[in-house]
Amino acid sequence: MELPPRPELFDFHGVSMITYFTDNWENVQNFQARPDDIVIATYPKAGTTWVSHMLDLLYFGKSSPERGSTMPISERVPFLEFTAPGQPSGQRDATISNGSVEAADKMPSSPRLIKTHLPVQFVPKSFWEQNCRIIYVARNAKDNVVSFFHFDRMNMGQPEPGDWPSFLQRFQEGKMVFGSWYDHVKGWWEKKQTNPKILYLMYEDLAEDRGRELDRVCSFLGLSLTEEERCKVIEGVGFDAMKKNSMTNYSTDKYMDFKISPFMRKGKVGDWKSHFTVSQNEQFDKEYQKKMTHTTLRFRTEI
Ligand code: A3P
């Protein structure tokens, strides 16, 4: 399959975007949510696939155990704002669906699990009107930018990443797809303070003890599991299990070049240490402090 050239970033209502996520804007904004929809919201590379797979196993692991090993994650959990060039249904090719509004509209399963990377101010209003539950996952900035860098290297559907120093610089300036990490994590954090329907998870907490975080998720969603079901989910969402599973590792996605880097790359907290130089780290910390002064949001960069 011949791929289109890499997309260019542009300013979209104050947020850097690419057309893959803005071409279907009206339909996205007019999306009709259902009260039992569950949204997984993240800044890219914060653990979206991890929590998406967890929720899918939680809701459908028992009734359709084959689902997690036969349906790509992008079909089980459609990516609301995604639309491939010239293909508004979100179909990248005949074999892989990438969700989007149309796919979500047609989803027979209930609840629908819906993925979005939208900053909080762009979330379609129907989700708020229907009082939907939303699980937001955030990851510390340093590991997040490293993961994003490798993702942009291997994903031809992302803008050209350039070299690491320039990528890091652009991350600090918010010139990434879906905009500034700072605005994203802080925007959702503020919203969560007044909206009990938002659960705010941390990648680092998941990495530390995914069983404990699974219990938090279940309690938020009002689910109770048998010990056997709980063990199955914990096992299914382990890094090695997901890396091996072609329905979660994106090996079916033609835009991704696994010769450059795998999608399930390291899955670690603290990998930033092998990328940041001492001076990059000092510079980063200085800017970080400035940008995070007026928030109570705190991250761990090691566990
Ligand atoms: P790394 O690039 O640091 O390895 P997203 O799904 O939001 O694109 O996030 C992808 C990141 O989450 C990748 O990080 C990937 O390895 C990590 N990830 C996905 N599943 C995971 C799991 N089960 N355990 C730990 N990390 C996981």
pLDDT of 258 higher than 50? yes
pLDDT of 183 higher than 90? yes
Is the CB of 42 inside a 6 Å radius of any atom of ligand 1? yes
- 3-state helix/strand/coil string of 111-139: CCEEEECCCHHHCCHHHHHCCCEEEEEEC
Q: What is the arithmetic mean of pLDDT over 193-219?
A: 98
| pLDDT at position 2 | 83
In-domain check, residue 281: yes
197 vs 162: CA distance, rounded Å: 39
In-domain check, residue 298: no
In-domain check, residue 283: yes
- Angle at the Cα of 70 from the Cα atoms of 87 and 4, rounded to 5 degrees: 25
Give the ranges where the chain is alpha helix by DSSP (H).
Answer: 25-29, 48-60, 67-70, 73-76, 100-106, 125-129, 141-154, 164-173, 181-194, 203-208, 210-221, 227-236, 239-244, 278-291
User: Is 117 tagged catalytic?
Assistant: yes
Range of the domain at 208: 10-291
Q: Name the band, by pLDDT with cuts 50, 70 and 90, for residue 84.
A: confident
φ, ψ dihedrals at 41, nearest 5°: -115, 135
Is the CB of 147 inside a 6 Å radius of any atom of ligand 1? yes
Q: Name the band, by pLDDT with cuts 50, 70 and 90, for residue 95.
A: very low
CA of 172 to the centre of ligand 1 (A): 21
pLDDT of 162 higher than 70? yes
In-domain check, residue 19: yes
Q: What is the arithmetic mean of pLDDT over 266-285?
A: 98
Of the listed ranges 45-54, 77-86, 108-117, 264-273, the least confidently predicted one is: 77-86
Is the CB of 265 inside a 6 Å radius of any atom of ligand 1? yes
Q: Name the band, by pLDDT with cuts 50, 70 and 90, for residue 83.
A: confident
CA-nearest residue, atom 26 of ligand 1 = 267
| pLDDT at position 89 | 42
CA-nearest residue, atom 2 of ligand 1 = 147
Scanning the structure block, which residue is given the tokens 């092998």? 274
Nearest CA among 150, 199, 195, 211 for reference residue 40: 199
Q: For ligand 1, pick from 40, 205, 239 the residue to mutate: most ligand atoms within 8 Å of CB.
A: 239
Total number of domains constituting the chain: 1
In-domain check, residue 303: no
CA of 267 to the centre of ligand 1 (A): 5
| pLDDT at position 291 | 98
Q: Name the band, by pLDDT with cuts 50, 70 and 90, for residue 85.
A: low
In-domain check, residue 194: yes
φ, ψ dihedrals at 74, nearest 5°: -70, -20
Q: Which two tokens stand for residue 222?
A: 């009002």
Is the CB of 242 inside a 6 Å radius of any atom of ligand 1? yes
| pLDDT at position 90 | 42
In-domain check, residue 264: yes
pLDDT of 103 higher than 90? no
In-domain check, residue 1: no
Q: What is the arithmetic mean of pLDDT over 97-119?
A: 85
Chain centre distance of CA 292:
22
CA of 52 to the centre of ligand 1 (A): 11
300 vs 287: CA distance, rounded Å: 17
Q: Would you say 6 and 151 are in contact if contact means Cβ atoms under 8 Å apart?
A: no
Query: b/e string for 244-257 if b means 16 or more Cβ within 10 A?
Result: ebebbbbbebebbe
143 vs 260: CA distance, rounded Å: 19
pTM, two decimals, is 0.96
pLDDT digits (tens, 9 = 90+) for 1-20: 688 999 999 999 999 999 99
| pLDDT at position 96 | 35
Order of strands, edge to edge, in the sheet holding 198-202? 113-116, 38-42, 133-138, 198-202
pLDDT mean across residues, the chain: 93
Of the listed ranges 39-43, 73-77, 172-176, 195-199, the least confidently predicted one is: 73-77
Catalytic residue among 13, 53, 117, 294: 117
Of the listed ranges 29-43, 96-110, 161-175, 284-298, the least confidently predicted one is: 96-110
| pLDDT at position 88 | 40
| pLDDT at position 99 | 45
Q: Which two tokens stand for residue 40?
A: 């997984």
Indicate which CATH number applies to the domain containing 217. Answer: 3.40.50.300
Q: Which two tokens stand for residue 246?
A: 């072609």
Q: Would you say 107 and 100 are in contact if contact means Cβ atoms under 8 Å apart?
A: no
Is the CB of 239 inside a 6 Å radius of any atom of ligand 1? yes
CA-nearest residue, atom 8 of ligand 1 = 45
| pLDDT at position 1 | 67
